[in-house]
Chains A and B, each alone.
Chain A
Amino acid sequence: MAFNELTLALQITLLTSLYLFLLFAVRTISKDLSAARGEATAGGVPRIVVVEGDVAGGSGSIPVVGQVLIGRAPDCDIILEDTFASAHHARVYSDDSAYWLEDLGSTNGTAVKGKRIEEPVRLPRGSRFKIGQTVFQFMD
């Protein structure tokens, strides 16, 4: 059979639907990728990362499970070798809704955005804080 209106219409429909299928497939991929990103933010354990300065024990990234104690004492989760830090200097902990940074009555204080904190402050993800010479960042 030769070329006619029916085959022309079918050919156009066929080519269009090939691209509709691919478009649909790409949308599925992008949905999947954004869902994966969402899971990483919601389900992952947040971490404290050392941005500036050295920390004993090597690892520069500590997961926040329950609470993380920072200071010079050997029972701390993050042990600082810094004369400006107190033995039990500060802690990061979580309650039901958020993560908090609390200064445990240290001598030289804990600074968020350059200001010494007096009471527990909420830690949004990505925020930085400074203890002695060491700068930490709280992140995913």
Chain B
Amino acid sequence: MRFMKSRYRNRELLLLIFALIIISLGFYLSAQTTAQPIDTALKLAGLLATAFIGLHIANRILITDADPLLLSLTAFTSGIGLVMIWRLKPNLASAQSTWILVGAVTILIALVLARNYRKLKEYKYTWAIAGIILLFAPIFLGTERGGARLWLDLGPISFQPAEIAKICFVFFLAAYLEEKRELLSISTKRAFGLWLPEPKHLGPLAVMWLISLIILVLERDLGTSLLFFGLFLAMIYVATGRAMYVSLGISLFIAGAVACYFVFSHVQTRFDIWLDPWIDPAGRGYQLIQAIFAIGSGGLTGTGLGLGHPTLIPAVQTDFIFAAVAEELGLLGGVAVILAYLLFISRGLRIALSASDDFGRLVATGLTSVFALQAFVILGGTTRLIPLTGVTLPYMSYGGSSILMNFILLALLLAISAKRGDSLE
């Protein structure tokens, strides 16, 4: 029996149990300090454990050779997220735990479907069209929240279609670049000893640049715009090995962003608040200032879980959840969370390196880049390293779309990692 022998799965189980113990400890401490009923904590921890142990069993049966760390790290980060959400907004925690459970079921379905992920490249242009429709639907049908037009309301459910569009674009770009990589990396043009792409191959770059500018201008969303363009640059660089695409792309993006700074007031506000949040401490700078106070008051070891005042930060359960972690668990807790993300990203890149086919390699690279960029954009925004742009912190932030899409991302990485080596197929 193969699945009795798997070292990988046994290590995954060990790490998973360890993570669940830490999460339970967090729930217990939180229940002590915030005087919330312990049976709610038990219920939430139980739901979390059910979801992840269920996924672990599914991994044993479906993808024995998959990476042992991804699932455990996801349990670790989404567990800390759930504890924080329960502590910050107790009435949102059961919704979040339900989303995690729904996410687990989605992973199951995705794993069964994605075992032959190579079939996905046959629907290249379907992915492109679906991605573009999803990305631009909110411009016509969306509702505006917090200055950005990102949400689509479908009766009782509202979701961010850009989250799904990300994965569609990864599929399309992986299939497209797998076909065209040779072509895109050949050129006879040189200037000052530098390699330059053929002008006719700049089409894709121009199209992606336009798409990101449209998102920036019409949806007023700097974060998503940055994610899509960054994803494209990472993938074209990996496919062609030409740094010139990245330099050109970054210059173009900076040019576009600078132009937007002068034309659009909301971009200007974001940038000015980043440089000096004190120009409007009670208004536009309020959120960032509260976050900085929260992080500062955490110190090295934190105020203690449940003993700080992170609820003073607006939208703390979504974009600013890291500030709450840094306040109550301190620098140590914050760094632990960042390390968990770094480990996840390093595993993602390792999966890309050891993938047995180019399409899998490119999909794994794309998914890992979009994950890394998203974590960087929001962690950097929260800590005032870069101008704040509203994206969610994968696995930790409150929100159904984000949880579901990042769980699908996890399922795909797992499926690709299980395929390594068997190049006979």
Residues of A at under 8 Å CB distance from B?
Answer: 1-3, 6-8, 10-15, 17-22, 24-26, 28-29, 32, 36
Contact = CB atoms under 8 A, between A and B. Distances in A.
Nearest to B31: A1
Contact of A14 (B329, B340, B347): B329
Given A6-B32, A7-B29, A21-B15, A14 B22 contact: yes
Given A11-B304, A15-B333, A1 B32 contact: yes
- Which label, helix, strand, loop or mixed, suits the secondary structure of the A interface? helix
A7 B73 CA distance: 26
Nearest to B339: A22
A19 B340 CA distance: 10
Contacts, number: 84
Contacts of A25: 15, 69, 72-73, 340, 343
B301 A11 contact: yes
19 contacts: A2-B307, A7-B304, A7-B306, A7-B307, A10-B32, A10-B305, A11-B304, A11-B305, A17-B18, A17-B25, A18-B22, A18-B333, A22-B340, A24-B15, A24-B18, A25-B15, A26-B343, A32-B68, A36-B354
Contact of A10 (B28, B73, B332, B336): B28
Given A11-B305, A14-B29, A15-B332, A29 B19 contact: no
B35 interface: yes
B304 A28 contact: no
B35 A28 contact: no
Contacts of B25: 10, 13-14, 17
Interface residues of B, number: 37
B118 interface: no
Nearest to B35: A1
B302 interface: yes
Interface of B: 11, 14-15, 18-19, 21-22, 25-26, 28-29, 32-35, 68-69, 72-73, 76, 301-302, 304-307, 329-330, 332-333, 336, 339-340, 343, 346-347, 354
Given A14-B329, A15-B329, A17-B21, A22 B336 contact: yes
Nearest to B21: A17
A18 B336 contact: yes
B38 to A, nearest CB: 12
Nearest to B34: A1
Q: Which 10 A-B pairs have the closest CB atoms?
A: A18-B336, A10-B29, A17-B22, A11-B304, A15-B332, A28-B11, A1-B35, A22-B339, A21-B18, A14-B25
A7 B308 CA distance: 13
A11 B69 contact: no
Contact of A29 (B33, B302, B343): B343
A52 B21 CA distance: 59
Contacts of A2: 307
Contact of A8 (B18, B35, B304, B329): B304
A36 B67 CA distance: 13
Contacts of B18: 17, 20-21, 24
B11 to A, nearest CB: 5
Contact of B307 (A3, A6, A22): A3
A6 B28 CA distance: 11
A114 B88 CA distance: 75
A24 B73 CA distance: 11
A98 B25 CA distance: 55
A1 B33 contact: yes
Given A21-B19, A22-B336, A29-B343, A14 B305 contact: yes
A14 B26 contact: yes
A15 B301 contact: yes
B241 to A, nearest CB: 21
